[in-house]
Structure 1
Amino acid sequence: MTARHDGLRKTALGTIGSGNAFADLGLPDPETELTKANVVIDIDGAIEKRGLTHARAARIMGTPASELTKLLCGHTEPYTVDRLKESLSRLSA
C-alpha cells in the first residue's frame, strides 16, 4: 500500500484530507492529476450545458466517442492538461 500524504489531519470524527485526494493517496504528480480531474469535470459540464450527445461532443473534440467515455470515467492517463483544455475550448466555442 502507498504511504499517505502528510497533509491529513486526524479528528474525533475521522480523518480530514488535504483537499487533493491524489496527494492524500500518495500518487505521483498529484497537482497535475487534480488539474486534469477538474478540467474533465468542466468538459462534462460543457457537454451537459450544450445538451450534446457523447457522440456529438466527441466529434467536436476530435476524439473517438469511446475515448470520451473513458475520459469521463476518469481515465486521464493518455491526456496532457493542455490537450484537455483544448478539448474544453472546442466544446465552449
Structure 2
Amino acid sequence: MPKFSRTRQLHCFKCDKPLQEAVPGTLQPSRGTDWQASGNYGSTVFDPSGSPQPELLVISICDDCLAENAERVHLFIGARLATIEETKKKFA
C-alpha cells in the first residue's frame, strides 16, 4: 500500500526537495507547480469515484524537475499538443 504524506510541508514529488509555500497557508509552491487530480479512471491507486465526499490529490513538482524532464511533459498550447522543442524552450 502506498504511503501518503499528511504533513503541510511541501516537497517535490520527483526529487523530494523541500519547497516553500508561495502564499502562506496554501499548497502553492514557490519555484514549483502544484498538480491536482480529482480521480483517474485508469488508476488503481487513486480513483475516488463513488466516494461520499469529494477528494482531490495534490502533488508538487519543483521547477528544476520540470525543466530537467521537459521531454516527458505533454504541454498543450491552445488545443494543440506542443512539440518537444517547444516544451523544452518553455521550461528553459
TM-score interval (norm. to shorter): under 0.3
Higher strand share: 2
Higher helix share: 1
The structure with the largest alpha-carbon Rg is 1
TM-score, normalization: structure 2?
A: 0.23
**Which one has more relative contact order, counting CA pairs under 8 Å at least 6 apart?**
1
